[in-house]
Each structure stands twice: as structure tokens, then as C-alpha cells.
Amino acid sequence: MTARTQEIPVRTITAAAMLTALNIILSSFGIPVPGGHFYLNDVVICTAALLLGPLPAFVVGGIGAFLGDMFFYPTPMFVSLVTHGLQAVVISIMAHRGSAGKEPEYRGSVAGVTVGAVIMVVGYSLGRAFIYSTPAYAIMKLPFQILQAAIGAVASIVLVFHAGLKRFAESL
């Protein structure tokens, strides 16, 4: 290992790969709603961002959502890459700030998933308006985007801090 490179533990790579696969699955199957579909992959993206560092979180969030879209509905795949990738990185940075990168802090995590939810809603609204060339289409989907972001944020906090996922991840 040189001074410029940093080794990523095998456990982190394995966790990122498993969470990326789960993100691909959950971003491939949605519940039909007016203006598109409702997806549960934000739960995986936020959870991964709370447990992993920024780079693995980007892989899970951005690349996982990109691949899920590419396989089944490629139109918004670049919007997913940028929006979910940025969302995951910001959540990871905010959750691990002040903890020397080892484990997420509760306050930082809540702030991170909140900011991440805003990034997701704004990113997809702007992306949808651009891709489909109509702000009306983006506005029609807005309540479901907000609901999806809120469910992802709340569920990830519950999973990591109240359901023992943080302790489990630390024991690996």
C-alpha cells in the first residue's frame, strides 16, 4: 500500500456489492402511481450511506440505481446515477462527520438523511422535467417522490440505530 492509496476492506466491498444488488432489485420493481412508479430503493441507499464511507455509498446508491434503470427502464438512468450518487455521498459524509469515519453518529445521520431526501426530491424533479420536457409531469410525481424520500430516510434510521443493524455492521 502506498501513501496515496487506501485499501478497502473485503468486508466493505462485500457489503457494498450485496447492497448494490439489493438496490438494483428494488429500483427495478416499482408500485405504479400517477406519473410513474414508487420505489423502495431509497431505504437501501440511505442505509448503505449510513453504514459505509462515501465511495462505497456512491457505488451502492448511484451505480446501483443506474444499473437498475439501465436493465429495466433506461430513460432516467443518468438522473438516477447523479441524484442517488450525490444523495448517498452527502448522507455518508454527514453521518460520519466527527466520528473519525468509524461509525455513524445519530444526529449527523438524521441530518444527513434529511438533506439526502431533499437532494433526491429536487434531483428527480429537475431530472424528470428535463427528460420529459414538462414541469407538469415532474409536479404530478412530486408527492410520491417526497413520500419515497421520507420512507427511505425514516426506515434507514430505524434499521441502523433501532433495529441493531449498526451493531451488526460493527461486529463484522
CATH number for position 136: 1.10.1760.20
Which residues are registered as beta bridge partners of 36? 33
* Contacts (Cβ under 8 Å, ≥6 apart) of 108: 94, 95, 96, 97, 98, 99
Domains in the chain: how many in total?
1
Domain residue limits at 151: 10-171
Q: Let me know if residue 132 belongs to a domain.
A: yes
pLDDT tens for the 172 residues of the chain, in order: 455 557 888 999 999 999 999 999 998 888 888 877 889 999 999 999 999 999 999 999 999 999 999 998 888 899 999 999 999 999 999 999 866 556 788 999 999 999 999 999 999 999 888 887 778 877 888 899 999 999 999 999 999 999 988 887 776 5
pTM exceeds 0.85 for this model = yes
Residue 145 lies in a domain: yes
Is position 17 within any domain?
yes
